[in-house]
Structure 1
Amino acid sequence: MRGPDSLGRGWWRRNGWGLVALLPALALMLGAAGYSDLEFWQRGRPEAVLPAADGTADFAGLRMRVAELAPATDLKRSGDRPFVLPDNMTAWRVVLDVEGPTDLEPDQVIYCAISIEDTAGNRYNDEPRELSSARTPLGNCNPENSPVPAGSGRYQTVAHFVTPRGVEIAAVRVFFGGVDQTRYVRFDR
């Protein structure tokens, strides 16, 4: 810290206006940081989009519905050997009927993440580690992974999950993070 300048002003008098201008700048900076945190919090808690009365939902340029939600008891390993889970676990299969535009280029394909939710609010993601040695398709809404040819724009996506035995499934959730991080489609059971 230096002493007085040539006019006899001390540090506080020389820098007073700078300090006054610093307070609104600091307030703006804290406000912007708070807004950023609010936006992050909102992305962490996306809003559910519910399907219409007929069970179909229009979202991210696709129309979809849950065609099947059932225990997967016919899983196979390579060589068509049966795949068996431990007694305390249940494998689930979700099949979504998807209808989308037929004129999409390969780099425009919309990918999704599918999960299921139990009645306690626990979520289970597709492709769990417990099914890593089972032959299961990728459930990502990509027409190339569909067991049904997608020439007409209609295809299926199949996802597999593992839950503890006795868990009751309440909903299927479909999230399109690359399209909209603030919403997801929720199909209640």
Structure 2
Amino acid sequence: MRGPDSLGRGWWRRNVWGLVAVLPTMALMLAAAGYSDLEFWQRGKPQVVRPAADGVAEFAGLRMRVAELAPATDLKRGGDRPFVVPDSMTAWRVVLDVEGPTDLGPDEVIYCDISIEDTAGNRYGDQPRELSSARTPLGNCNPENSPVPAGSGRYQTVAHFVTPRGVEIAAVRVFFGGVDQTRYVRFDR
């Protein structure tokens, strides 16, 4: 640190304008970082898209509704042998009726991630390990996995879940991560 300059000013007086400029710059930097964190947080908390009064939700170029949400008691393993779920668990089946464009190429097919939510807010994903030896289709909104031919643009997607016995299902959630990561469709039961 040097002494006073030729005008007798010390370090503080020589650098006062630089210090005045640093404070607003620091405030702007902190605000920008906070905005970035807020944007990241909002992406982490997607917004809910609710279906219309008739139960049909329009999202990602598709129209869909829950056709069935019920315990899956008729699961099979290879050779049409029955698949038995452990006594402490319940297997669930969700069937979505989907209507969408039929002229999509293989690279344009919209995939979804289906989950169920219980009344306590716990979520359960499709294709759990407990059902790995059962023959269950992939519930991913792809028309090729549908048990109903998709020639008319209407098809079904079927997803299977496992919850502890006694759990009450509150909602079905459909997330289209490749299309929109900021929203998801929620069908309340």
What TM-score, normalized by structure 1, do the two folds share?
0.89
When structure 1 is superposed on structure 2, of 121-130 and 65-74 the one drifting more is 121-130
Which residue of the partner structure matches residue 110 of structure 1?
110
Question: CA 1:5–1:113 in 2, change beyond 3 Å: closer, same or farther?
Answer: farther
Asked if 1:124 corresponds to 2:124, the answer is yes
Distance 2:77 2:16 in 1: 75
Percentage of pairs with the same residue: 87
Asked if 1:147 corresponds to 2:147, the answer is yes
4+ long deviations beyond 3 Å: 2-19
Which residue of the partner structure matches residue 134 of structure 1?
134
When structure 1 is superposed on structure 2, of 2-11 and 17-26 the one drifting more is 2-11
Indicate the SS of the match to 2:64: strand
Q: Deviations over 1:59-112 (max 9, x none)?
A: 111000111111111112223222212100000000001000112121111111
Question: CA 1:16–1:161 in 2, change beyond 3 Å: closer, same or farther?
Answer: same
Tell me how far 1:12 sits from its aligned partner. 4.6
When structure 1 is superposed on structure 2, of 55-64 and 177-186 the one drifting more is 177-186
Question: CA 1:104–1:4 in 2, change beyond 3 Å: closer, same or farther?
Answer: farther
Which residue of the partner structure matches residue 39 of structure 2?
39
Asked if 1:178 corresponds to 2:178, the answer is yes
Aligned length: 188
When structure 1 is superposed on structure 2, of 125-134 and 74-83 the one drifting more is 74-83
Distance 2:74 2:163 in 1: 16
The RMSD of aligned alpha carbons is: 2.0
Q: Deviations over 1:131-151 (max 9, x none)?
A: 122221111111121111212
Question: CA 1:36–1:84 in 2, change beyond 3 Å: closer, same or farther?
Answer: same
Indicate the SS of the match to 2:39: helix
**Unpaired runs of at least 5, structure 1:** none
Which residue of the partner structure matches residue 3 of structure 1?
2
Indicate the SS of the match to 1:106: coil
Q: Deviations over 1:120-164 (max 9, x none)?
A: 221111111211222211111111211112121111111110000
**Unpaired runs of at least 5, structure 2:** none
Distance 1:48 1:35 in 2: 22
Tell me how far 1:6 sits from its aligned partner. 7.8
